[in-house]
Structure 1
Amino acid sequence: MAKYESRLFVNGELVKPLGNKTFPLSNPATGEFIADIPIAEEEDVNRAVAAAEKAQPAWARLPARQRSAIIRKFASLMEHNKHKLSELDSVCMGKPLHGGLSDIKEAAEISNYFAGLAESSGGETSLNTPGMISMSLRQPYGVVASIIPWNFPSMIWCHDVVPAVAAGNAIILKTSEKSPLSGVFLAQIAYEAGFPAGIVNVISGPGQTGAFLSSHMQIRKISFTGSARAGRAIMQAAANSNLKVVGLELGGKSPLLVFDDADLDATADAAVASITINSGQVCTASSRVYVQKGAAAKFKELVVARMSSLRLGDPLQDGTQMGPQADEKQAAAVGKYLDIGTEYGRAIVGGKRATEAGVNFIQPTVFTGLSDQSRLNTEEIFGPVMVMHEFDTEEEAVHRANDTEYGLYASVFTKDINRAMRVARALEAGNVGVNTTSPDGPYEMPFGGFKGSGIGRQKGSHAVLDWTEVKSVYVKHG
């Protein structure tokens, strides 16, 4: 019998998929069997949508303060169950426990923030047209959906579910097949917190399950976080069905610019953390680093020393700083990039699979000598692999940093505030760190990408409003 609960959560109950299909999930660090994960098919999606449609109108009629109170209780229950949630994410995709605890802390904090937004969200009024009192109303879509990734499953669950239900919607969320366990548990504690049956539903399955959501005629908005390829498929399905609203947070190839006046020790700390947190499986990871030539030799030395000292191992053990890739497929994909980098460039640290730690582990790696057109420099690797370049001028650095179809996160390190602000404005990214880098991003600020990195924003002061439709009402008076 599996140690962990993995059934679907629909209409306030843990249920088996109607087709009884499952797939096995294994621990990427040990290969140990975890659970059989249910595959939700079209009839399961229809069941979840029907439950959501039935429950949503009464939920939307509740005063915002009551929805907020339930969300705050949910956040408190997350804090109470933080060790359990961290364990679930760790056994699924190899996240060290301390990283998981940090995720849960942020998820609880942002849930409380969204609870406050629910009470302050509203429309506008106007007296600018003679004889008219005009107003705009914010109303929930009704039934909405979310498809979340495997790298931050608990945190991104809250980024989508909490503002959606705070606005008065009912939601069906699909977990990733790589890390499905925390999503089901979060749905259980949401129900315990007071969310009515049918308001939060969680299903699991492969890409086809997501296709049922993105093409469903009764779902009015869908949010997706993941790859650009899958994002395009979701947009096409939405366009071919009911033109549902689509929000996308897609991949990145984040540049980090280091000027020769930067605090190189602090910059090296930030750069290494950015590319190795979560084993490099972060869409905002600083994977392209451009260093001004006067600082390049020293900066390389500092980065190599920090990379070499990282402790790889079982993510459930204290002291582990970096766990495995999420599964064998992901480790193999990163391994292919290592082969390309070794053939065309030079690894100044790492460059191989860390087989001494386990089959799915990758050495923290830095490549030099690769061109800006190299696949390692243009494609999202999603592993602990950095490509380092040198530059002469500010204009050159900005041009090379922007020479990508991605635009999710960028960073600039310098002590010159004028340069910092010039570069921050010039970088084509939805998020820019000055003397900091990803994953830093305060939850009160909007998060999302330019160009091929997405459509719309998560987090920030408009997060709840983004899950509503705007209706204008015109009142003619005598």
Structure 2
Amino acid sequence: MTAMINKIAISIKAYHVRTGEQRSEMPDGAASLRHRPHGVLAVFGPYNFPGHLPNGHIVPALLAGNTIIFKPSELTPWSGDAVMRLWQQAGLPPGVLNLVQGGRETGQALSALEDLDGLLFTGSANTGYQLHRQLSGQPEKILALEMGGNNPLIIDEVADIDAAVHLTIQSAFVTAGQRCTCARRLFLKSGTQGDAFLARLVAVSQRLTPGTWDDEPQPFIGGLISEQAAQQVVTAWQELEAMGGRTLLAPRLLQAGTSLLTPGIIEMTGVTGLPDEEVFGPLLRVWRYDNFDEAIRMANNTRFGLSCGLVSPEREKFDQLLLEARAGIVNWNKPLTGAASTAPFGGIGASGNHRPSAWYAADYCAWPMASLESDSLTLPATLNPGLDFSDEVVR
């Protein structure tokens, strides 16, 4: 809720900085820049952060002057309804923000509306690709896709193993792994220090027992969005194990009929032919590497490009990663799940279509209008060659 509230002031500032009005004086007038709203925009929200993430589209779209049709995830309809009621209580005029509930069929029908001027989406890469295909051949419609990632975290040399383990857990398992920036792939330097780190990571992760919101003491993580989602993570782990992965910590469903899933860790060093897919839950795959160049190559070996991180005391290695990483978010000694609304948020490749949100959301919510202006009209003192405005009559 705090993030949703803070989004208002940040979006207002971004609106003025990114899409405000500018005027440059010229000898015979002025050049002006203004921005205009697209019109009617659809916003498709995800089930993780079902208030905050669609809010990141809705607020800048409203500031730009658009009207909105908001479809929350079919898994979190109440959150969408609550967001809608809050906007109504705030005095938003009827028809400016409209709520439509439903699943895939509703989304397909909404995105097919002829009068729709654009669609702003946060969700899985598979759904994003479907929307991109559906809107292909319609360049007049703005499409902003914020999708997932197969995000790498590189653990190089560390002085404080527990601090590095804490950062890794915050990157991989916070919110039960249900953040698009969560670490999915861990690259760990070979050697005794890497061995000690991995043993400590498994030991601490083994103590992470998921629970419900009202449990005492409070658990570190809750359940996944559904029992089906939890089972999909278990199935993904089983498939990785069948391909040759070595399980270090097996994910377990604590109770049938629930989505309470313990974290899983599996080493995949030397295993080939792996699918490049996002597993949206608390499952971390581990690879060992010998040198930093190899670590970067392995980290970039994905069709996604959302987030990437490095744990290392060496600034030079982070500078190298900044030059070579294929990701929209690159962190150094910080969890992958940390991001600032005062910066753009988005990725490349299968993680997005070059329409980052957060600070840059204003860009896809309006289009620029350039003008040359003068408050009076006079004949130029010097005319172009061939122009004759004399009073002589041409015979």
TM-score, scaled to structure 1: 0.73
Distance of 1:125 and 1:469 partners within structure 2: 17
Code of the residue aligned with 2:226 in structure 1: it is D
Aligned-pair CA distance for 1:362: 2.3
Distance in 1 (CA, whole Å) between partners of 2:268 and 2:124 is 27
Match of 1:346 among 246, 255, 262: 246
Please give the secondary structure, in 2, of the residue aligned with 1:177: coil
Q: Distance in 2 between matches of 1:269 and 1:305?
A: 12
Match for residue 466 of structure 1 among 359, 364, 367: 364
How far, CA to CA, are the matches of 1:373 and 1:188 in structure 2?
50
Equivalent residue, structure 2, for 1:42: none
Alignment map for 1:6-405 (pairs within 5 Å): 104-118=1-15, 121-126=19-24, 131=28, 133-240=30-137, 243-261=140-158, 263-294=160-191, 295-318=193-216, 319-343=218-242, 344-349=244-249, 351-356=250-255, 359-371=258-270, 373-375=272-274, 378-405=276-303
- Which residue is equivalent to 2:383? none
Matching residue's letter, 1:362: L
Q: CA deviation at 1:263?
A: 3.5
> Which amino acid in 2 is paired with 1:276?
F
Per-residue CA deviation, residues 68-91 of structure 1 (Å, 9 max, x unaligned), is xxxxxxxxxxxxxxxxxxxxxxxx
What is residue 335 of structure 2 aligned with on the other side? 437
Tell me if the contact between 1:126 and 1:135 (Cα under 8 Å) persists in the aligned partners.
yes
Shift of 1:222: 0.9
SS of the residue corresponding to residue 345 of structure 2 reads coil
Cα offset, 1:187, TM superposition: 1.0
Q: Distance in 2 between matches of 1:234 and 1:474?
A: 38
Q: Is the 8 A contact 2:121 2:144 kept in 1?
A: yes
CA contact (8 A) 1:111 1:158 kept: no
Going from structure 1 to structure 2, the CA distance change for 1:202 and 1:466 (only over 3 Å counts) comes to same
CA contact (8 A) 2:306 2:346 kept: yes
Work out the CA distance in 1 between the residues paired with 2:13 and 2:157. Answer: 43
What is the letter of the counterpart of residue 246 of structure 2?
R
Greater RCO between the two (CA within 8 Å, min separation 6)? 2
- Report the CA distance between 1:357 and its aligned residue: 7.5
How far did 1:213 drift? Answer: 2.3
Secondary structure, counterpart of 1:464 in structure 2: helix
Q: Could you tell me how far apart the structure 2 residues matched to 1:217 and 1:263 are?
A: 57
- Distance in 1 (CA, whole Å) between partners of 2:117 and 2:271 is 41
Amino acid at match of 1:187: M
In the other structure, the counterpart of 1:12 is: none
User: Which structure 1 residue ranges, 5 or more long, are not aligned?
Assistant: 1-103
For 2:356, the equivalent position in structure 1 comes to 457
CA contact (8 A) 1:138 1:465 kept: no
Per-residue CA distance 1:330-382 (angstroms, 9 max, x = gap):
12211211211332212112x24323475423221110145464546x21111
Give 1:134 deviation, angstroms. 2.4
Quote the offset at 1:453 in angstroms: 0.7
- What is the match of residue 13 of structure 1? none
Contact 2:263 2:283 in 1 (8 A): yes
For residues 243 and 211 of structure 1, do their structure 2 counterparts lie closer, same or farther at Cα, with a shift above 3 Å needed? farther
CA RMSD of aligned residues (A): 2.0
Aligned partners of 2:157 and 2:313 also within 8 Å: no
SS in 2 for 1:329: helix
Alignment TM-score, normalising by the size of structure 2: 0.88
CA gap 1:334/1:261 in 2 versus in 1, 3 angstroms: closer
Look up the equivalent residue of 2:168 and give its one-letter code: A
How far residue 125 of structure 1 moved from its aligned partner, in angstroms, is: 3.3
Distance in 1 of aligned mates of 2:4 and 2:126? 27
User: Quick one: distance in 2 between partners of 1:224 and 1:315?
Assistant: 28
CA deviation after TM superposition for structure 1 residue 119, in Å = 5.3
Mind listing any 5+ residue stretches in structure 2 that lack a counterpart? Answer: 379-395
Distance 1:424 1:268 in 2: 23
Relative to 1, partners in 2 of residues 1:268 and 1:358: Cα closer, same or farther, differing over 3 Å?
farther
